[in-house]
Structure 1
Amino acid sequence: MKRSSGARIGATLAVSALSLALITGCSDNGSDDAKGTDTKESAGASSAPAAKALTSAELEKLLLAKGDVKDFEAESGDDTLPKSKSEVKTDKAACDPLAWATAALAPGDTDANASNTLTAKPSAASKDPSKLTDADIENAFDVSITFVGLSSYDGDGAEKALKAVSDGVTACSGGYGLKAEDESSKVTKVSTAKSSGAGDESVAFAEDVDMDGEGTATFLTEVVRKGNTVATFYSVNLAALGKGGKTEIPAELVTAQVAKLK
Structure 2
Amino acid sequence: MTTGLDLRMDGVTLGYGGEPVLTGLDLTVPAGEFLVVVGHSGGGKSTLLRALAGLLPATSGRILAGGAPVTGPSRDRALVFQDDALLPWRTARRNVELAPAIGGARRAERRRAADDWLARVGLGDAADRLPRELSGGMRQRVQLARTLAASPRAILMDEPFGALDAQTRGSMQRLLAEVLEDAPATVVFVTHDVDEALTLGDRVVVLGTAGITAEFAVTGRHDHDRLRSEILAELGAVPARLVAEGAA
TM-score, with length taken from structure 2: 0.25
TM-score, with length taken from structure 1: 0.24
| Greater helix content | 2
